[in-house]
Chain A
Amino acid sequence: MTSMELLPALLLVPLVAAALAFASRWAGAAAKPLVTLIHAVSMTVLLLGTLRLAGELLQVDQIAALHGWMQVDSLGAVFLGLVGVVGFLIGVYAIGYMNYELAHGAIDVGRLCNFYGIFNLFVFTMLLAVTANNVIMMWVAVEATTLGSAFLVGFYGKRSSLEAAWKYVVICPVGVAFGLYGVVLVYSNGVAVLPVVGDASSWTALLFNAQLLDPTLVKLAFVFVLIGFGTKAGLFPMHAWLPDAHSEAPSPISALLSAVLLNCAMLIVLRFGMIAAKAVGPSFPQTLLLIFGLLSVGVAAFFIVVQRDIKRLLAYSSVENMGLIAFAFGLGGPLGILAGLLHTINHSLVKALMFCGSGNILIKYGTPAMDSVKGILKVAPITGALFIAGALALGGVPPFNIFVSEFMVVTAGLAAGHPWLIGLCLLLLTVVLAGLVRMLAATVFGAAPDNVPRGDTGALTLLPMGVLLVAMLVMGIRAPAPVGQLLARAAAQVQTGSQPQIAQAPAPGTAVAPTPDATPAAR
């Protein structure tokens, strides 16, 4: 199978798996093993497929498919790889977690089938979001991620989870509708000025011709896009849905939301940021990203310190980290972009670990409230140890990976001439660290309650966390060469792609081709 065929096929996998999962509820007694098998196969294929595609993008600049509607470039490959790897690990964790929920009567087999069905559907929409090349399809895909995951947020049907689902399903589409406005502005502008009208919805073509676009419209469009997709990425002040949705969803879903979904939205912000930077110069999008980023870090930091609920705390930490990523992109320069991309990966790995850990805590204690969760280290030592490592990593303690990207942000900031912003940012990150160790002090240590049975949760819930921990350490000490190469290529792509061309023809291997090879049918 060539990579051009692999890309659409890869998207089909979770879609088909979702249909099969929904259907397997009629399989009677075989439903549970059947649906678990479908899910496991789907996740494995997803992992292998994304890794192969990402590997190929080390050789080529772009893989396009479906007449240029879909494309993966080096930048997209980073995010596609994340969906694949983190999605797979969370998918495996979900099997262990949901088996437990089933065994303890929290759900029945029919709902288990629904869960895996929607899970795969959700993964499909996220794959769509990172591979879409048509700007309007990007919006459709992000909107679909909301609709796809709404029932997962409200999965338990409790008062609070329904409320969270409601906020999610109102705030996100409304926010993302702003994104649509931005997209439409860029598109209609493109229709007016692009040499080939049919190209106006192709992101690659828009980026290539960005200098032809009207500066005022592009600025307006970027503001809309930032508000719109920034809602979905969890940037302050549009983050209101995030803590509720993340804390009320089943833990594997919280992990998926935080570690994968937010990145997809951030990718689209970045893609439009590239267009804006090329059209009106980098300072406009960068300033906006700096402001939204730093505000998100600041506000989230203070919410983190006062939380009494583990999952809400982790949710605010997602706001903080997405803010930091936006901040890094806002700093710009090769180092800033690299730092932002690296932090995206690092945050995903750590946050997946933490939400899986919170799932294990919920299994043992039945609540995420810090007042009730005590002595994890005595109740479930492995979970406790992993949780400590994860929280310290999240706080930016070496040798874990987040330290590396945070330090890169600092360096990028000094290189960009923002020492005071960096100082403020580091102080805020210290507040975050304080909030995290405060949580550890309250939950991991101390005497365990008597009514909680001793013993760790099963292997399926611990193994993915262990893999994540190893990945965190590897990324923290020395990123594997292919990952480093891919990141460098992606950062170079963002950097050169958002610079005005000097000559008519871009240097080979630096800029992205105007339109993918197979565009004619889009005209």
Chain B
Amino acid sequence: MENLALTIILLPFLGALVTALSPQRVAKWVATVFSALAAAAVIALAIGFDQAGKLAREVDLLSFGQTALMGLTIDRLSVLVCVAVVVLGFLVVAYSTAYLTDGNREHPHDGRPRYYAFLLLFIGAMAGLVLSSTLVGQLVFFEITGACSWGLIGYYEKPKALKSAIKALIITHIAAIGLYFAAAWLFVDTGSFALTGLAHLNDGAKVAVFLGILIAAWGKSAQLPLHAWLPDAMEAPTPVSAYLHAASMVKVGVYLFARALYSAGAVPEVIGWVGVTMAVVTMVYGFLMYLPQRDMKRLLAYSTISQLSLIFMALSLSVFGSELAFKGAVAHIFNHAFAKSLFFLVAGALSYSCGTRMLPSLRGLLKHTPLLGISFCVAALSITGVPPFNGFFSKFPIFTAGFQLSAAHLLLLPLVVIALIESVASFAWFLRWFGDTTPGEASEAVAKAQPVPPAICFVLVTLIVMCVASSFIAASWLG
């Protein structure tokens, strides 16, 4: 099983090398094959892990003297998230093969080997981060994802895109300083980098290490005050936005926090308070920033910010001793990955066929491009948490846990209420755009839409299915 896990990490890296050296014509097919193999491996890992009774296990990979530098951890948390990031990675690569072509109306451009190589590197780094059992391992892959996101955001080589890429890299690197500190502190105190060592820290050191991890997590998950890079990162090609800014990279932050909480045992409540407060502040900020947006991708970026705040809130609530909140948070990581990817990929498909993704010029999707209309509809309902779509099933336990905890911690009540109001308000806001764009007569851009290529259709349909199914998968997996 360890070998399988290692394969999931190394296969994309190998693929990246091969892709980078391939001629442009074949590069995308090479990348698709490698990402498909990685996805198959991760599904095999999940099935194997399930059949072996879901017993958590750890193994050291690289050591310096007696100190383990890198290792693998295979448990319910890591395997679930790994499935999401690797499978979505494959879907995004497949989508890109159709999207990055000369047929694209908004961005006619044939994808270069560099694009696919970076994307594969990114998949490998994400898998590595999720499966890492040490803070150093997490830091290494954290930084690799940062470098890859730089390469991908700036991919179109326009000055603005290059600037946004630098911004993303630098802000997340500043965040990484927190992780540098956390890892070094853990080592100095316990003589080991293993995450399990978190449990042996005294309270003061635990607070310090968790603050470091939180800073890193806020940076990658675009939370205040390190959020500024995400909206600008929308300069990236849309499949990249879907993957980096919905499914995987922004999930690094919440995953780091979740993994640390999972390993640390009891955590001082102050971390919970800091986490919840920042989460609610960011959530409100994210919602307020919905209002002026016209570009669908920027709207989605802010929606991502506030959705991640919800996950942060749930994880912070778990500090107060609620297992329900933790499970809800992990389920939401999984569910949101599929729902938000779908939303971004719909935006990309609209760019491809209509040549625009500006919301005001889109009308009548359901009539002229039914698949895109349905996808838009499913994505919006999932994100805002309407049953039977997946968002509901992870949001509901989070709020339940919040209200349960409020009984013991009265101060939490206003925060949870604010979060609930935000959730309802964002539903209303999405409903408004949904009403404007999906039904009715077609606008000019939509009427002239060109048909969507089969690869894109395949990806969208898969994601629509997952938007219904993922919450059940997560629920049964987490038990």
Contact = CB atoms under 8 A, between A and B. Distances in A.
Interface of A: 377, 385, 392, 396-399, 403, 407, 410-411, 413-415, 419, 422-423, 426-427, 430, 433-434, 437-438, 441, 445-446, 477-478, 484
Interface of B: 20, 62, 64, 114, 136, 139-141, 143-144, 146-147, 150, 154, 157, 162-163, 165-166, 169-170, 173-174, 177, 180-181, 183-185, 187-188
A414 B114 CA distance: 38
The 10 residue pairs across chains A and B that have the minimum distance between CB atoms? A441-B162, A411-B184, A398-B140, A445-B157, A414-B184, A426-B177, A397-B147, A410-B184, A415-B188, A398-B143
A441 B181 contact: no
B187 A411 contact: yes
A407 B166 contact: no
A23 B473 CA distance: 79
Contact of B144 (A399, A426, A427, A441): A399
A298 B173 CA distance: 17
Nearest to B180: A410
B167 to A, nearest CB: 9
Given A410-B180, A437-B170, 12 more contacts: A377-B114, A398-B140, A403-B143, A407-B136, A407-B180, A411-B187, A411-B188, A423-B177, A423-B181, A426-B177, A430-B177, A441-B163
A495 to B, nearest CB: 15
Contact of B166 (A396, A414, A441, A478): A441
12 contacts: A385-B20, A407-B136, A407-B180, A410-B180, A414-B185, A430-B177, A433-B173, A434-B170, A438-B166, A441-B165, A445-B157, A484-B64
A478 B62 contact: yes
A430 B174 contact: yes
A427 B173 CA distance: 9
Question: What does DSSP make chain A's interface, helix, strand, loop or mixed?
Answer: helix
Nearest to B150: A437
Contacts of B141: 398
Nearest to A446: B157
B79 to A, nearest CB: 24
Contacts of B181: 410, 414, 419, 422-423
A386 to B, nearest CB: 12
B65 to A, nearest CB: 9
Contacts of A413: 184
A61 B309 CA distance: 58
B186 to A, nearest CB: 10
B166 A437 contact: yes
Contacts of A414: 181, 184-185, 188
Contacts, number: 72
Contact of A397 (B64, B114, B146, B165): B146
A282 to B, nearest CB: 19
Nearest to B155: A445
B162 A407 contact: no
A190 B114 CA distance: 61
A515 B140 CA distance: 44
A419 B157 CA distance: 38
B154 to A, nearest CB: 7
A334 to B, nearest CB: 11
A407 B157 contact: no
B144 A433 contact: no
B341 to A, nearest CB: 26
A415 B139 CA distance: 19
Contacts of A445: 154, 157, 162
A138 to B, nearest CB: 33
A438 B170 CA distance: 11
A377 B64 CA distance: 37
Given A398-B140, A398-B144, A437 B183 contact: no
A445 B139 CA distance: 28
B184 A441 contact: no
Contacts of B173: 430, 433
Nearest to A426: B177
Nearest to A442: B162
A403 B62 CA distance: 16
A377 B114 CA distance: 10
Given A385-B20, A441-B162, A407 B183 contact: yes
A422 B188 CA distance: 14
A397 to B, nearest CB: 5
B453 to A, nearest CB: 28
B140 A403 contact: yes
Contacts of A427: 174, 177
A399 to B, nearest CB: 7
A434 B166 contact: yes
B185 A392 contact: no
B127 to A, nearest CB: 14
Given A407-B183, A445-B157, A446-B157, A397 B143 contact: yes
A422 B64 CA distance: 23
Contacts of A423: 177, 181
Nearest to B62: A478
B139 A407 contact: yes
B154 A433 contact: no
A392 B169 CA distance: 11
A411 B185 CA distance: 7
A434 B162 CA distance: 12
Contact of B170 (A392, A410, A415, A433): A433
